[in-house]
Structure 1
Amino acid sequence: MPEPEYPMEREPGCPFAPAAAVREMTRENPVGRVRIWDGSTPWFVTRHADQRALLNDPRLSIDEKRPGYPHMTRSRAASAPYHPALITNTDPPEHTRLRRTVNGPFMVKRVEALRPHIQRILDGLIDDLLAGPKPADLVPAVALPVPTLVITELLGAPYQDHELFQTASHVLVSHDSTPQQAQEAARALGGYLGELFDAKAADPADDVISEMAGRVGAGEMTRVEAVTMAGAILIAGHETSANMISLGTLALLRNPDQLALLRENAGDAGFVAGAVEELLRYLTIVHTGIRRIAVEDIPLHGEVIKAGDGVIFDLSGANWDDERFPDPGRLDLRRPARSHHAFGYGPHQCIGQSLARVELQVVYGTLYARIPTLALAVAFEEVPFAMEGVAYGLRSLPVTW
C-alpha cells in the first residue's frame, strides 16, 4: 500500500478535525511512513506518548542541514544551507545558548505584566468594531491586529510597517511559495529588520531588538543571529495567535453550548485559561508537523528508525489521540487539556507560548462577553479556510451581532 501524501487534506465537512488518515494511523499504525513534496518517505509519529518520548530524545536532531532532513517545503529546503544558527535549527548546546539570549522577554512574569496592555488593545479594537458597519470581518478587525500590535511593541518594530512583514511572513510560511519568492520575501524582511537593528543599537529602547543589540555588543550573539531571530519572532508572534483567535471564534460559534459556557464563566480566570488549552488542543493549528532527523538508530513499535532517517511528528494526531484525550472530537472547555502538543514538546517547545496564552485568555475572556450576540454572517460552509501555510487559519470571518 503506497504511503499517504503529507500534509493530508482535511474533510470539508470537518475542517477542525485532523485528516482521517492521521487519525487512522494514530490508532492502527503509530510509526508508519508518509510521502512528502520531494518524494521522500520519512517516518510519521502521531501518538501522544511516542511524541513525549521522542521529542526529548537526543538521538533525534533538528539540524536542517543534515542530508535527509524532511524539509517542510521546497523553498525551505533551498534556503536551509544558508540559514544562520537559530533556536529552530540547532541542537544543544548551541540551541541552549541561543535560546538563553531571547528567553527573557517571554518568561511568564514578564508576559503577565503585559496583560493590562493587551486588554486595552483588545478593548479599543472591540470599540471600533461595534462602532463600525455590520457585518464585519473579524480577521482584520480583531484577530490579526491584537497579536501584531503586541509583538511589534515587544520587539520595537513600528506597527505602521505591519503590511510589509505580514506580506513577507505569509510568503515565507506558505507551501505554495517558490524558492525565488521566499528568497525575495526573506531579503525584504531581513533588510527591514537589519536597518531597525542598527537604529536600536545606536539608540536603544526598552524592547527585544534593543536587548539583542546589547547582547551582540557583549559578544553573546552575532548581528546575523539577532536579525534572523527577530524575523522568526515577528512571524511566529502574529501568524499563529491571529489564526487561533479567528479559528477559536468559529469553533465556539459552531459549538454554541461551549460558547455559552465560556460567556457564563468569562470572569473566572481559571476557567478561561482551561478553555484556551482545550481550544489549542482541539484546533492544533500547526498542521504540517514538526520535523527531525535521526542521528542514531531508534527502535519503536517493532520498527527501527535508522540513523539518517527523517521523522515527522503530527501534533494534531497527538492532540486527538483517544488514549490521551477520550472522545477527542468533542470540544469540551471543562476538559483538562494542558498536556496537549499544540506548542510542540521538549527543548524546542514554542518560546512564545506564554505570550500566546495570555493573548488568547484576554480575547476569549472578553470578546464574547462584550458581544454576546456575536454570530456568523454567512453559512459555516462559506467561511474561507486557508490551509497552505505551516499553520492553518481563516482568510476571513464575516460576523454580525
Structure 2
Amino acid sequence: MGESLHTMTTLPTGRRSGCPFAPPAELVEARRHGPVSRYTFPGGEPGWLITGYDLVRSVLADPRFSSRRELMLHPTVDYGGIEVPPAPPGEFVLMDDPEHRRYRKPLMGKFTVRRMRLLTERVEQITADCLDAMEKTGPPADLVPAFARPIPAIIICELLGVPYEERGSFQAQVESFMNGETSDEDLIAAYTATQDYLAELVAAKRAHPTDDVLSDLTDSDLTDEELKGISLVLLTAGLDTTANMLALGTFALLRNPAQLAALRAEPALADRAVEELLRYLSVAKTFMRTALEDVELGGHTLEAGTRVILSLNTANRDPERFAEPHVLDIRRQGGGHLAFGHGVHQCLGQQLARTEMRVAFSALVSRFPTLRLAVPAEEVELRPEAADIYGVKSLPVTWDV
C-alpha cells in the first residue's frame, strides 16, 4: 500500500455556501484522489473511507463486511473505548445473517411493489389533504410541517397501527431524537419514551389485533421485544428519510426551475424524477461496515477488523458512473443509484418511499404552478451536521393566489 494514498482525519459534513445539495467539498476532493482513502477515527484507530461508486456498491454486497453494531466505531465521536453492545432484538439493520434474515423475512411481503400500488390511493388522499390545508391557509407556508413531514408520518403510523389520537405526541417524540439538535439528556428521554410507547403498542396489538403490519406480525414467532425492535426500525427508516427527501427534493426543484417546469409539463417523468432526486441528494450520507476477514479492495488489503466508512453521496455523484453527476437531470436514464443501499441490507421500504415521493411531488407541482421560495435560497436553514439524515429544517414557500 503506497504512502501516496489520500488521508483524512475528520469526516466533513458541512456544505459549501451556495451549494446545499452537493456533498462536502473535502469528500469530493477525496474521491478525485481515488475511490479509497485512509481514515483515522476519533481516538486514533486507522480505518478506510470509500468514496467511489463501484467500491461502495461492492462492499455493500460483500458478506465479508459486517453491519453488526458491536463491531462499529462512530466516524466522528470518540466514546473513549466504551464497548458497544450488540443491537437489541429486532433491530435487524445492525445485524448480519442469519439473524438479519430472520427478522427481515416476515416483512418482505408487506412492502412489495404490488402492495405499494394498493397503498397509492391512500398516499394520494393524505397528500391531497395536506395540500388542501395549505391552500386554505394561504401563502406563505413552511413545507416541512405542512407537507414533507406529515405524509410519511401518517403513513408509518397507519402501518404500525398507532391510534389516531396518539399520533401527534408520538410523532413529536420521534422528531426530538432524530433532528440532531436535541440535548443528550432530552434525546435519551425521547428515545426511551418512544421505545416504551412501542412496547405498549405491541402489547395492545397482541391483545386486540387491527388491520396493520404490526398486528400481522403478532401471528409470527417473534417476541414482544423483537416486535418492538422491528417497529423502531420501520419508524426510523420510514419517516425521517422520506420526510427530508420531500423537503430537500422540493428545494432542489425550486432551485432548478427548468427541471421543475419539465416535471409539471410531463407528469410521466415523475418516476424518473424521484430516482434522480434520490441520486442527487443522497440524504442518507454514509453507511458503516467492518471487515470480518482480510479483504482485497481497490488494490489494497483491508485487514480483518478494519472499519470502513462508505460515502453514499460521493458514490452517487461519481463521474465514472454518472455523466455530469453534479447536474440535476430528471430525464436521466439508467438509475443504479445507491440511495437505498445495495445487497441484503437494501432498504426494505424503498417501494413505499418511491410511492410517497412520486405522488407527493406530482401533486405539489400540479396544485401550485407558481410555487417558489418565500426567502432567498441562502436563508433556507439546513439541518445540523449532527443529524444522521441530511435535509432542511424549514422550507418557506409562497405562490400566487
When normalised by structure 2's length, the TM-score is 0.92
CA distance in 1 between partners of 2:167 and 2:156 (Å): 11
1:290 match: secondary structure: strand
> Is residue 2:203 matched to residue 1:206?
no
Aligned to 2:74: 71
CA distance in 2 between partners of 1:298 and 1:174 (Å): 36
CA distance in 1 between partners of 2:319 and 2:306 (Å): 28
Aligned to 1:353: 350
Unaligned stretches of 5+ residues in structure 2: 1-5
The equivalent position to 1:398 in structure 2, one of 388, 396, 399, is: 396
> Is residue 2:106 matched to residue 1:106?
no
The equivalent position to 1:84 in structure 2, one of 85, 88, 110, is: 88
Do the aligned residues in 2 keep the contact of 1:6 with 1:35 (CA within 8 Å)? no
Q: Which moved more, 1:85-94 or 1:32-41?
A: 32-41
Residue identity in the other structure for 2:256: N
Distance 1:9 1:34, change over 3 A: farther
> Is residue 2:16 matched to residue 1:11?
yes
Aligned to 1:299: 296
Distance 1:175 1:37, change over 3 A: farther
Aligned to 1:317: 314
Do the aligned residues in 1 keep the contact of 2:34 with 2:52 (CA within 8 Å)? no
Do the aligned residues in 2 keep the contact of 1:375 with 1:399 (CA within 8 Å)? yes
Residue identity in the other structure for 1:81: P
Shift of 1:390: 0.9
Do the aligned residues in 2 keep the contact of 1:11 with 1:20 (CA within 8 Å)? yes
Q: Which moved more, 1:172-181 or 1:303-312?
A: 172-181
Distance 1:251 1:188, change over 3 A: same
CA distance in 2 between partners of 1:173 and 1:121 (Å): 23
Aligned to 1:140: 145
Do the aligned residues in 2 keep the contact of 1:47 with 1:317 (CA within 8 Å)? yes
CA distance in 1 between partners of 2:93 and 2:310 (Å): 15
2:362 match: secondary structure: helix
Q: Which moved more, 1:181-190 or 1:380-389?
A: 181-190
CA distance in 2 between partners of 1:78 and 1:235 (Å): 25
CA distance in 2 between partners of 1:330 and 1:356 (Å): 23
Distance 1:246 1:75, change over 3 A: farther
The equivalent position to 2:198 in structure 1, one of 193, 198, 205, is: 193
2:171 match: secondary structure: helix
Shift of 1:80: 4.5
Residue identity in the other structure for 1:26: R
Shift of 1:39: 4.5
Do the aligned residues in 2 keep the contact of 1:7 with 1:36 (CA within 8 Å)? no
CA distance in 1 between partners of 2:40 and 2:178 (Å): 20
CA distance in 2 between partners of 1:103 and 1:14 (Å): 37
Aligned to 2:162: 157
2:260 match: secondary structure: helix
CA distance in 1 between partners of 2:280 and 2:334 (Å): 9
1:344 match: secondary structure: coil
The equivalent position to 2:120 in structure 1, one of 115, 119, 126, is: 115
Shift of 1:133: 3.1
Shift of 1:174: 5.3
1:331 match: secondary structure: coil
CA distance in 1 between partners of 2:181 and 2:84 (Å): 17
CA distance in 2 between partners of 1:167 and 1:36 (Å): 33
CA distance in 2 between partners of 1:283 and 1:303 (Å): 29
2:234 match: secondary structure: helix
Distance 1:53 1:113, change over 3 A: same
Which runs of at least 4 in structure 1 moved beyond 6 Å after TM superposition? 75-79
Distance 1:241 1:376, change over 3 A: same
Number of residues of Structure 1 aligned to a counterpart in Structure 2: 391
When normalised by structure 1's length, the TM-score is 0.92
Distance 1:175 1:372, change over 3 A: closer
Distance 1:206 1:78, change over 3 A: farther
1:196-275 map, 5 Å: 196-215=201-220, 219=221, 221-266=222-267, 268=268, 271-275=269-273
- Superimposed CA distance per residue, residues 255-299 of structure 1 (whole angstroms, 9 cap, x where no aligned partner): 000000000012x2xx21011000100000012x10110011111
Do the aligned residues in 2 keep the contact of 1:70 with 1:311 (CA within 8 Å)? no
Aligned to 2:49: 44
Aligned to 2:329: 332
> Is residue 2:300 matched to residue 1:277?
no
Shift of 1:383: 0.5
Residue identity in the other structure for 1:391: I
CA distance in 2 between partners of 1:40 and 1:169 (Å): 33
Do the aligned residues in 1 keep the contact of 2:143 with 2:396 (CA within 8 Å)? yes
Aligned to 2:373: 376
CA distance in 2 between partners of 1:150 and 1:119 (Å): 11
Do the aligned residues in 2 keep the contact of 1:48 with 1:319 (CA within 8 Å)? yes
CA distance in 1 between partners of 2:26 and 2:78 (Å): 26
Distance 1:23 1:2, change over 3 A: closer
- Superimposed CA distance per residue, residues 313-333 of structure 1 (whole angstroms, 9 cap, x where no aligned partner): 110111000011111111000
CA distance in 2 between partners of 1:133 and 1:324 (Å): 43
Shift of 1:79: 9.1
Aligned to 1:184: 189
CA distance in 1 between partners of 2:18 and 2:373 (Å): 17
Q: Which moved more, 1:235-244 or 1:377-386?
A: 235-244
